[in-house]
Amino acid sequence: MILPASGFDMAASKKSVAQAADNGSESGSPPAFTREQDLQALRDMLLIRRFEEKAGQLYGMGAIGGFCHLYIGQEAIVVGMQMTLGQGDQVITGYRDHGHMLACGMDAKGVMAELTGRRGGYSKGKGGSMHMFSKEKHFYGGHGIVGAQVSLGTGLAFANRYRGNDRVSLAYFGDGAANQGQVYESFNMAELWKLPVVYIIENNRYAMGTSVTRSSAQTDFSKRGVSFNIPGEQVDGMDVRAVKAAGDRAVKWCRDGKGPYILEMQTYRYRGHSMSDPAKYRTREEVDKVRHDQDPIEQVRNRLLADKVAEDELKKIDAKVREIVNMAADFAQNDPEPDASELYTDIYR
Amino acid sequence: MPIQVLMPALSPTMEKGNLAKWLKKEGEAVRSGDVIAEIETDKATMEVEATDEGTLGKILIPEGTNDVAVNTPIATILADGESAADLGKAEAPKAARMPARDVSSEVAESRAPVGEGKPMISDPKRPAGTAAEIPEDPDIPAGTEMVTMTIREALRDAMAEEMRRDGDVFLMGEEVAEYQGAYKVSQGLLEEFGARRVIDTPITEHGFAGVGVGAAFAGLKPIVEFMTFNFAMQAIDQIINSAAKTLYMSGGQMGCSIVFRGPNGAAARVAAQHSQDYSAWYSQIPGLKVIAPYSAADYKGLLKAAIRDPNPVIFLENEILYGHTGPVPKFDDYVLPIGKARIARAGQHVTLVSWSNGMTYALKAADELAKEGIEAEVVDLRTLRPMDTDTIVASVRKTGRAVTVEEGWQQSGVGAEIVARIMEHAFDYLDAPVMRVSGKDVPMPYAANLEKLALPSIAEVVEAAKAVCYR
């Protein structure tokens, strides 16, 4: 599929590999969410959106240093996928990772304080935006080297298979990382050894400033596993229901011992690659169009309103989320920097 | 309360910028995510998005204004229900710009000179777990049988014993299982432990190194064999960026217990791409431990220690040495301390410091030197990181002279590091400049005569030792 310049034709999204699990709904929209599911999705996505907006603001104020890659626009993917997971399932991703951490249930304060490099951050201020971990929440990072998390996530799946448990690992990476060699080394081993790993390619259409059509010979990323016999699907990554439905299929495939599965999530990042990216490689109209037509949060909000949920109730959710984010930002700016003695800790154990 | 919008920084180094254009007018409604203005620096123009909802109450900096300092209020946003009358109460988000790095305060820290009564290593910042706290080699119980075996067998036994002891330990690599190891190091392991724990990988170093590290993050204890460390260059990103750094980057939450092992350095007649010594490369990395033994007993005791160690360990073997034999004590817990050098031969005239196959030259040179009345003390480092500086320095304080011997290149090499440490900690004891014998500064040639010239020789070690003894 060649991507039209104006954006994805989401209606054309479909399973691409013959072997992909039967999704039972070839035509039309994904299975509906209950009101509770929609409310949960709204809350979780809003938390990520507001958190990222605040992070952008703090970056602009100089409170966050270095690189800061925001997840705004892509929220439905991690929120939908998280709804498919069970206890002990693992998540690993690259450096655009704030959304994944919040979706895994990591504390907004600890994440924001890591962004500001404070001692209450998840890595005591030593990792920063791109390097955060939580063993407790089964979040394995936060990796700064493009594509490295794919082999590492395959290793998490290897450990599950070695131990004979039924856990699944999710390895997230972008359309840019999908061109790294180790991704295919990992695909080969994962299928060879039937490892329970879902490879989630978050195709936001730009690898930093290079569009997929300029960087990828095969722009249908769901087909990237074909030569390894790994099934794949293209998914409307802006619709949390479609994400969850596809995620359920993929996770079941893995849990049933059938090996890895690929989900290409078609999505869009509203902001630049990082905070210092003016995003001149695309038009404002393109961004506005996705925002206006496909925003993952607005989709849920509109469904809820159509379902006669009072606007006030949605405003309350927003207010609650803002409160969490503001508290996180306050904490992150007032928490002390790590003690100087921390310079020499955690090198060996 | 109305919210002030501040002039944002596009990068941590930006101090000011131009307010190019306002895209919203006073009184216009704004939603979170709306672009309200464009700002520009010498590098880029950037859109400013609103992060709050309400009405653009007042524009404080008109468009076209140049050199607006970062964090200057540029506009005020009124929340629902607020009016222009509330503008005076506007609250700025707390600006928390970090102070610029003050370099001048960092140079004041001076080093105390190393004196007689002080400990040899005076660096107060040295992290825990380095040489000073490392125990001596364990006593070998009386009556322990000494078994003569090849280094190849010592390695195999070490792995087999640790795999019997701990079900989380497994071996993966190219040809380790059915082929029994490209150099027959893993002989018999598949038979004893089965295909679940002795795993043939595809030829895919970068990928399986990453898989190993990921499995270690999840709590397993992989032994990752590289057919040679030359091929590990494909995997070095995973070794350094993932294995070595994650404990630190996670604030101590997530480490990995993993051993990367295989032959390192020059074999025989395999030319440049299969002959490189990576001692210096890995020993530079904080977060890694690097072991490069010489004797059969050390190979066994240190590999067992490496497998039990909770950190990533680079275990550098040597193909030339695989077939060499030596006595190895026969007991299960023969585990040697990582980070402890061994005096392989005592002497008082000159210290020779080496490791791995470099020891071959050093020990034979010591024999030659003895014939001429020069008693060389030979220090076998065994571990390159953490480096046992105390043992080196104690020997040099005794002999006053030192030569390092390595097969690797000289520039930024391990020998260079040893020389620097001797200079830092035993300068006043030196009677001559320290000399280095090393591999020559060329890619390894294929032709037999050239290859011989490219490697160190016993004669070179003898010559260097005599030179520092002024003989």
Give A275's pLDDT tier (boundaries 50, 70, 90).
confident
Residue B173 sits in the same domain as residue B303? yes
| Mean pLDDT taken over chain A | 93
| pLDDT value of residue B382 | 98
Could you give the CA distance from residue B201 to residue A188 in angstroms, rounded to a whole number? 10
Q: Is residue A347 part of a domain?
A: no
Chain A: give the shortest CA distance to residue B445, in Å.
30
Could you give the CA distance from residue A40 to residue B162 in angstroms, rounded to a whole number? 48
Residue B380 sits in the same domain as residue B445? yes
The answer to whether the complex's ipTM is over 0.85 is: yes
| Number of domains, chain B | 3
Catalytic residues of B: 205, 274
A138 φ, ψ to 5°? 60, 35
Q: Is residue B98 part of a domain?
A: no
pLDDT at B201 over 60: yes
Residues B71, A270: C-beta atoms closer than 8 Å: no
B117 CB neighbour count, 10 Å cutoff? 4
Residues A134, B253: C-beta atoms closer than 8 Å: yes
Q: Is residue B124 part of a domain?
A: no
Residue B39 sits in the same domain as residue B188? no
| pLDDT value of residue B119 | 46
| CATH code assigned at A266 | 3.40.50.970
Q: pLDDT exceeding 70 applies to what percent of chain A?
A: 92
| pLDDT value of residue B115 | 41
| pLDDT value of residue B95 | 53
- Chain A residues touching B255 at Cβ < 8 A: 349
| pLDDT value of residue B32 | 80
Contacts 24+ apart (CB under 8 A), A43-47: A43/A317, A43/A320, A43/A321, A44/A75, A44/A79, A44/A82, A44/A102, A44/A103, A45/A75, A45/A76, A45/A79, A45/A240, A45/A296, A45/A297, A45/A300, A46/A297, A46/A317, A46/A318, A46/A321, A47/A102, A47/A108, A47/A321, A47/A324, A47/A325
A69 touching chain B per CB within 8 A: no
Residue B274 sits in the same domain as residue B191? yes
The domain containing residue B13 runs over which residues?
3-89
pLDDT at A256 over 70: yes
Q: Is residue A108 part of a domain?
A: yes
- Chain A residues touching B217 at Cβ < 8 A: 140, 152, 155-156
| Number of domains, chain A | 1
Q: Is residue A341 part of a domain?
A: no
- Chain B residues touching A140 at Cβ < 8 A: 214, 217-218, 254
Interface test with B, best of A130, A182, A294, A312 (most B CBs within 10 A): A182
Residues A181, B237: C-beta atoms closer than 8 Å: no
- At B179, the amino acid letter reads Y
Taking CA–CA distances from B235, the nearest residue in chain A reads A182
Q: Is residue B97 part of a domain?
A: no
- Unique residue bearing structure tokens 């011997």: B405
Residue B271 sits in the same domain as residue B350? no
Output the CA–CA distances (angstroms, integers) from residue B253 to A121, A262, A299, A335, B248, in the order listed. Answer: 12, 29, 38, 20, 8
Number of CB pairs, chain A paired with chain B, less than 8 A apart: 219
Q: Is residue A90 part of a domain?
A: yes
Chain B: give the shortest CA distance to residue A28, in Å.
30
Q: Of A70, A117, A125, A134, which is closest to residue A96 (Cα–Cα)?
A: A70
- Residue with more model confidence, B116 or A184: A184
Token duo for residue B384: 């390159």
Instruction: Among A174-178, A284-288, B314-318, name the one with the lowest average pLDDT.
Output: A284-288
Instruction: Tell me the pLDDT tens digit for each residue of B63-108.
Output: 999 999 998 999 998 987 787 777 777 676 655 555 445 444 444 4
**Torsion-angle region of B41 (φ positive above 0: left; ψ -120 to 50: alpha; else: beta):** beta
Residues A151, B46: C-beta atoms closer than 8 Å: no
- Chain B residues touching A61 at Cβ < 8 A: 6, 8-9, 70-71, 93-97
| pLDDT value of residue B94 | 59
pLDDT at B125 over 70: no
pTM here?
0.90
| CATH code assigned at B399 | 3.40.50.920
B167 touching chain A per CB within 8 A: no
Instruction: Tell me the pLDDT tens digit for each residue of B186-195.
Output: 999 999 999 9
B95 touching chain A per CB within 8 A: yes
Residue B151 sits in the same domain as residue B295? yes
A185 touching chain B per CB within 8 A: yes
Q: Is residue B157 part of a domain?
A: yes
Residue B202 sits in the same domain as residue B59? no
Q: pLDDT exceeding 90 applies to what percent of chain B?
A: 75
Residues 207 through 226 of chain B touching chain A, CB cutoff 8 Å: 207-220
Q: Is residue B185 part of a domain?
A: yes
Could you give the CA distance from residue A152 to residue B436 in angstroms, rounded to a whole number? 40
Give B132's pLDDT tier (boundaries 50, 70, 90).
low
| Mean pLDDT taken over chain B | 90
B150 φ, ψ to 5°? -80, 160
Residues B204, A158: C-beta atoms closer than 8 Å: no
The domain containing residue A167 runs over which residues?
10-20+32-333
Asked if A111 and A102 touch (Cβ cutoff 8 Å), the reply is yes
Instruction: Tell me the pLDDT tens digit for each residue of A11-45.
Output: 444 455 545 666 544 556 899 999 999 999 999 99
Asked if B279 and B316 touch (Cβ cutoff 8 Å), the reply is yes
Instruction: Tell me the pLDDT tens digit for each residue of B24-69.
Output: 999 999 988 788 998 888 777 888 888 778 899 999 999 999 999 9
pLDDT at A270 over 90: yes
Q: Is residue A349 part of a domain?
A: no
Instruction: Among A23-27, B132-136, B313-317, name the one with the lowest average pLDDT.
Output: A23-27
